[in-house]
């Protein structure tokens, strides 16, 4: 089920063949953590990310060798690639020449008008967009001084300054991100920025942390913004395998009813009534369905109380008994199954639904 959240009106840009903004589906991005110069490792990771649903990938470009590697990487992947640039504007120019589908620059360290002009000229020549990526950890010194440290207002000021500079250079193929590890500050900054421009916004909470804290911060920050119609593309930042970032990104969209990719798994937290190893069963089901794309609702429940009753809206599900359980569809019990066969029976039923049987 999708929910009609009124999204902010924005311009549309294209990152490779992927539309962003102006009502296009909210895309899920990630960033590799391989050495970009290691083409084989980087391509392998991007392919895993693509399988998980990643739609745009960003790679670090710390030197000219990394910029040159983009040409070989791009030949071997299916999704658009964005070059992440800090400090040296020449790397942005080289990345554009190597075939990058987009550039990300940081206003806090990329340099002044002459250097920005070289970047926008390269982007224009190659027909690619630029993401202005403001980061709380690298704001311009004068903005930090003016605002007595990092503030939402300072993040917005940095973005607006860069937008105005690029506008003076005749470049408007932009998307904007203003991120902090502080969730309320990030949300406040995006809300302010949303009222100051019509560029598509890339949303996220930067440096969110490990798996648990990172998921919580990202779900709250990104989720609040998306629920208000703010955001055209997103990245969940985790100190983790980037495949997890993609999974969490789609779970946020799924939870809000914005996009449905893959099964929606419903499972109970268990209680004293549960007589089966539901933790293990739920994990097996989750792992087996990780790369499935069919938008079906699957229930994995501990007992009949939470089984067909509370999960009656599920397309298919299992509920535990004492050493066995039941397989049900749309709240109707189909058959009783030994505990050891619950997962396989559920997966077979899912395969039948996917095949239209």
Three-class secondary structure of residue 19 per DSSP: strand
Mean pLDDT of 9-32: 98
Q: What percent of the chain has pLDDT over 70?
A: 98
Crossing angle for the helix pair 89-97 and 64-75, to the nearest 10 degrees: 30
Our measurement of the distance from residue 49's CA atom to the centroid of its chain's CA atoms, rounded to an integer in Å, reads: 11
DSSP string, 180-218: -S-HHHHHHHHHHHHTT--S-BEE--TT--SHHHHHHHH
**pLDDT over threshold 80, residue 82:** yes
* pLDDT tier for residue 3 given thresholds of 50, 70 and 90: low
Cα 89 from Cα 85, distance rounded (Å): 7
Taken in order of first residue, the domains within the chain and their CATH numbers are: 13-255 (3.20.20.20), 264-354 (3.30.413.10)
Higher pLDDT, 6 or 208: 6
Tokens of residue 271, six digits:
């209680």
Phi-psi region of 29 (alpha: psi -120 to 50; beta: other; left: phi over 0): beta
Assign 3-class secondary structure to 70-135. Answer: HHHHHHCCCCCEEEEECCCHHHHHHHHHCCCCEEEECCCCCCCHHHHHHHHHHHHHHCCCEEEEEE
Would you say how long the chain is, in residues?
357
Q: Hey, what are 82's tokens?
A: 């964005």
What mean pLDDT is reported for the chain? Answer: 94
Q: pLDDT, tens digit, for every residue of 246-292?
A: 999 999 999 999 998 889 998 988 888 888 899 999 999 999 998 88
First to last CA, the chain: 21
Nearest to 213 by CA among 186, 251, 240, 176: 240
Instruction: Name which residue leads in pLDDT, 173 or 324.
Output: 173
pLDDT value at 293 more than 90:
no
CB 223 within 8 Å of CB 255: yes
pTM: 0.91
Tell me what the mean pLDDT of segment 97-124 comes to.
Answer: 96
- Model confidence pLDDT, tens digit, residues 134-163: 999 999 999 999 999 999 999 999 999 999
């Amino acid at each position: 089920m999708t929910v009609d959240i009124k999204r902010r009106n924005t311009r549309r840009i294209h990152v490779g063949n992927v539309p962003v903004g102006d009502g296009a589906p909210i895309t899920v991005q990630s960033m590799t953590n391989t050495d970009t110069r290691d083409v084989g490792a980087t391509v392998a990771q991007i392919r895993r990310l693509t399988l998980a649903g990643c739609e745009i990938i960003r790679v670090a470009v710390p030197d000219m060798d990394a910029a040159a590697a983009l040409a070989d990487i791009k030949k071997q992947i299916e999704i658009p690639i964005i070059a992440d640039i800090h400090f040296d504007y020449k790397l942005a120019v080289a990345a554009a020449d190597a075939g990058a589908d987009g550039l990300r620059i940081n206003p806090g360290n990329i340099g002044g008008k002459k250097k920005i002009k070289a970047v926008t000229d390269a982007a224009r020549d190659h027909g690619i967009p630029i993401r202005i990526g403001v980061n709380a950890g690298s704001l311009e010194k004068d903005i930090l001084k003016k605002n007595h440290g990092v503030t939402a207002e300072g993040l917005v000021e940095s973005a607006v300054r860069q937008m105005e500079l690029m506008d003076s250079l005749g470049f408007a193929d932009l998307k904007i991100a203003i991120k902090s590890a502080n969730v309320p500050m990030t949300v406040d900054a995006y809300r302010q920025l949303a009222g100051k421009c019509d560029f598509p916004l890339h949303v996220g909470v930067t440096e969110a942390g490990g798996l648990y804290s990172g998921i919580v911060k990202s779900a709250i920050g990104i989720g609040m913004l998306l629920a208000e119609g703010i955001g055209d593309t997103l990245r969940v930042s985790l100190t983790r395998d980037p495949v997890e970032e993609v999974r969490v990104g789609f779970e946020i969209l799924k939870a809000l009813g914005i996009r449905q990719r893959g099964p929606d798994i419903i499972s109970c937290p268990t209680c004293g009534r549960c007589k089966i190893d539901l933790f293990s069963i739920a994990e097996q089901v989750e792992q087996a369905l990780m790369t499935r794309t069919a938008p079906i609702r699957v229930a994995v429940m501990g007992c009949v109380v939470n089984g067909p009753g509370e999960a009656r809206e599920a397309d298919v599900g299992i509920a535990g008994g004492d050493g066995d359980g039941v397989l049900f569809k749309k709240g109707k019990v189909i058959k009783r199954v030994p505990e050891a066969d619950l997962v396989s029976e559920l997966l077979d039923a899912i395969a039948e639904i996917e095949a239209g049987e």
